[in-house]
Amino acid sequence: MTKETDSREIALDILLEILERGGYSHIILRQALNKYQYLDKSERAFISRIAEGTVEYLLQIDYIIDSFSNTKVSKMKPVIRTILRMSVYQLIYMDRVPDSAVCNEAVKLAVKRKFTGLKGFVNGVLRNISRNKEGLSWPNDSVRYSMPAWIVSMWEESYGRETAVTMMESFLKNKKTTVRCNLAKASKEEIIQSLRNQGAEVSESGISEAVLCIEKYDYMEGLEAFQKGYIQVQDLSSSFVGEIADPKKGDYVIDVCGAPGGKSIHIADKLDGTGMVEVRDLSLLKINMVEENIRRCGYLNIRTKVQDALVTDPDSVEKADIVIADLPCSGLGIIGRKPDIKYRMTPDALESLAALQRNILTVAQAYVKPGGRLIFSTCTINRKENEENARWFLEQFPFDCISLKGKLGEKLDSAAANRDFIQLLPGIHPCDGFFIAAFQKR
């Protein structure tokens, strides 16, 4: 077997795990890349590109295969359909791989996985697609952007087609890793220098002082700045929660759904050794993730607690200066980083999540001191979970809305243009999709 076949076989196994066994793409890919650390950087990049790209373009890829194969994708053997899917991604989106190599490698993989009898079928379908790929066209936006039709309709209805298309195009673009600097630990210059010394390309976000974009690094865990707790992987959008929370020295902050701790650590950093942040989450497994991050960053003003956010903790009632409610949500704003979310979500799940958020908000609001604040955020783009829940909250509880207009600076002004809350939209704003509302208790 050649090196190319090996890489493709690794990609095949990753995709089988994600597409046939329901694994989460970012977890499966991370596990695989850790396992194959010994491969060189370019090989790992090739594997990631095939695996991520195939998931991103799945609906479009299946449409193409169904147009050229007598057996529909849904009727194929899982291994064969996965080989075809990842090969079609290479044919359509990876110019540097010659079509003949894609077809040959696909056939070799089918044989290696004991489907010798189907090698003619695999070869025939792929060569047919390769011959006709210049003339491909899409019947609708769902296939064009590989986005389930119900999500396309929902966004077109909420934001208009032009904005919906901009968002869907943005999801398909390459995403740089963004990190937020823990500025109480090291200066930005020191952090940039450390990253560059290890070969990473670093650019500033141009919007938030503390957020950097990094590329061409090998492993996050291998970066000195990460090991020393100087940086935390966090999108620009998520970093706004800490900025808007804007804690004062000595504040007591409860983060009711806090794992893995990104926003809490930001707030602990801002408190600069004072006050206390209590990070809560549902399970010990999740809390252990927070603990690991706290250990790495070395803050003493942050602690953890396993606590179901749906159950009132009587000791916390009216104790917190700030409550962070960064709630479980449909995650439609981060499809660019976790593309399988778009296939997992359903309209029913959206309804249940919106209801879950109301229940958590009901419990969490009680922890806020009079005069204290609650910051409600989600990483989704869905009016029911976001604006509708924020308005519902204001009707139910004795809180006033803190207007966020102008809070994120000129470049992001449109995110709060006609309302008091912030809805960030990928492609329109230079970050993931994200929602933030801030309330003050009377």
Ligand X SMILES: C[S@@+](CC[C@H](N)C(=O)[O-])C[C@H]1O[C@@H](n2cnc3c(N)ncnc32)[C@H](O)[C@@H]1O
Q: Annotated active-site positions, please?
A: 379
Cα–Cα distance for residue pair 336/427, rounded to 1 Å? 11
**Least distance in angstroms from the C-beta of 406 to ligand X:** 24
Cβ-based nearer residue to ligand X, 29 or 309: 309
Cβ-based nearer residue to ligand X, 142 or 234: 234
Size of the site for ligand X (CB under 6 A): 16
Cβ-based nearer residue to ligand X, 53 or 247: 247
Q: Per-residue contact track with ligand X, 326 to 355, x per CB under 6 A?
A: x-x---------------------------
Cα–Cα distance for residue pair 365/77, rounded to 1 Å? 51
Return the range that interacts with ligand X (CB under 6 A); candidates 306-314, 365-373, 385-393, 397-405: 306-314
Q: Is 282 in the site for ligand X (CB under 6 A)?
A: yes
Task: Check the annotation: does 315 bind a ligand.
Answer: no
Task: Check the annotation: does 321 bind a ligand.
Answer: no
Cβ-based nearer residue to ligand X, 200 or 259: 259
Q: Are 258 and 281 in contact (CB under 8 A)?
A: yes
Cα–Cα distance for residue pair 25/342, rounded to 1 Å? 12
**Least distance in angstroms from the C-beta of 266 to ligand X:** 8
Residue from 8, 44, 180, 286 touching ligand X (CB under 6 A): that is 286
Q: Are 224 and 420 in contact (CB under 8 A)?
A: no
> Tokens standing for 46?
């090739």
**CA end-to-end distance (rounded Å), the chain:** 69
Cα–Cα distance for residue pair 357/324, rounded to 1 Å? 13
Residue from 53, 247, 258, 339 touching ligand X (CB under 6 A): that is 258
Task: Check the annotation: does 66 bind a ligand.
Answer: no
Would you call 175 exposed, middle or buried from its count of C-beta atoms within 10 A (0-12, 13-18, 19+)? Answer: middle
Q: Is 308 in the site for ligand X (CB under 6 A)?
A: yes
Q: Are 62 and 76 in contact (CB under 8 A)?
A: no
The dihedrals phi and psi of 247, each to the nearest 5 degrees, come to -65, 150
**Least distance in angstroms from the C-beta of 238 to ligand X:** 6
Q: Is 310 in the site for ligand X (CB under 6 A)?
A: yes
**Least distance in angstroms from the C-beta of 302 to ligand X:** 12
Dump the DSSP string for 343-395. HH--HHHHHHHHHHHHHHHHHHGGGEEEEEEEEEEES---TTTTHHHHHHHHH
Q: Is 259 in the site for ligand X (CB under 6 A)?
A: yes
> Tokens standing for 258?
């806090």
**Least distance in angstroms from the C-beta of 326 to ligand X:** 4
Return the range that interacts with ligand X (CB under 6 A); candidates 37-45, 168-176, 198-206, 256-264: 256-264
Return the range that interacts with ligand X (CB under 6 A); candidates 31-39, 135-143, 281-289, 332-340: 281-289
Q: CB within 8 A of 152, min separation 6: which ones?
A: 140, 141, 142, 145, 164, 168
CA dihedral over 427, 428, 430, 436, signed as positive or negative: negative
> Tokens standing for 320?
């917190």
Cβ-based nearer residue to ligand X, 10 or 438: 438
Q: Is 263 in the site for ligand X (CB under 6 A)?
A: yes
**Least distance in angstroms from the C-beta of 7 to ligand X:** 32
Q: Is 261 in the site for ligand X (CB under 6 A)?
A: yes
**Least distance in angstroms from the C-beta of 247 to ligand X:** 15
Cβ-based nearer residue to ligand X, 102 or 309: 309
Three-state SS for 292?
A: helix
CA dihedral over 6, 8, 14, 16, signed as positive or negative: negative
Q: Is 309 in the site for ligand X (CB under 6 A)?
A: yes
Looking at residues 209 to 248 of the shown chain, list those that interact with ligand X (rule: CB under 6 A).
238
Q: Are 320 and 369 in contact (CB under 8 A)?
A: yes
Q: Are 203 and 213 in contact (CB under 8 A)?
A: yes
Q: Is 260 in the site for ligand X (CB under 6 A)?
A: yes
Cβ-based nearer residue to ligand X, 129 or 322: 322
CA-only gyration radius of the chain, Å:
23
Q: Per-residue contact track with ligand X, 416 to 435, x per CB under 6 A?
A: --------------------
Interface with ligand X (CB under 6 A) = 238, 257-263, 281-282, 286, 308-310, 326, 328
Which residue positions form the known binding site? 281, 308, 326
Which residue positions form the known binding site for S-adenosyl-L-methionine? 281, 308, 326
